[in-house]
Amino acid sequence: MKLAAVILFVLVLLMPAKLSAANTCPWLTEGTAAKALGGGVVPSAQISDSGEGFCTFSREEGESTIALRVLVQKAAQPSCPASSPKLKGIGNEAVTCTMKRSAEESVEMIVSRVRELHFTVSITIHKRGPKSTDVELPKGGLEQVAEQVAGNLF
């Protein structure tokens, strides 16, 4: 009986720490990010009291670094060209685009809005060195992430 009480006490103490550590991003789960990037991720987040901020999930694959970033803010940030393709069902005024910043770095993003909050979901692939191979990400991962973020902002 004493052993059962001690085990229960230890479990109760450890449970809140485990639950809070698993939920670092209010708009996206670590599991969804890992699925979108095709493997385990390292999360980080910076969220203000007003609900604005960002979450980043990163992973290393060979000679490349892949980062999924969710940015939520009240002010709109111009990021995709005006001629970008529109998306339906992901918040309001959603557009998608891909930008090649350099030979080593490319960014695929979706920009949208839910009520007064604007959000950008992006996947950045940064290759280190000329021998880096192309990174294959699961199909439709960015759209699924954007749908989850939009749903959590409603």
Domains and CATH numbers, the chain: 2-153 (2.60.120)
pLDDT at res. 35: 92
Where residue 100 falls among pLDDT bands split at 50, 70, 90? confident
Where residue 130 falls among pLDDT bands split at 50, 70, 90? low
Of 8-17, 110-119, 121-130, 145-154, least confident by mean pLDDT is: 8-17
DSSP states of 62-123 as a string?
Answer: TTEEEEEEEEEESS----S-TTPPEESSSSEEEEEEEEE-SSSEEEEEEEEEETTEEEEEEE
User: Model pTM?
Assistant: 0.78
Which residues make beta-bridge pairs with 61?
64
| Of the candidates 19, 70, 78, 11, the residue with the CA atom closest to the CA atom of residue 45 | 70
The residue to which tokens 């987040």 are assigned:
45
Stretch 40-68: mean pLDDT:
93
Average pLDDT, the chain: 83
Query: How do strand 86-87 and strand 64-73 relate by DSSP bridges?
Result: unpaired
pLDDT at res. 62: 83
Within a 10 A sphere around the Cβ of 113, how many other Cβ atoms?
16
Stretch 109-113: mean pLDDT:
94
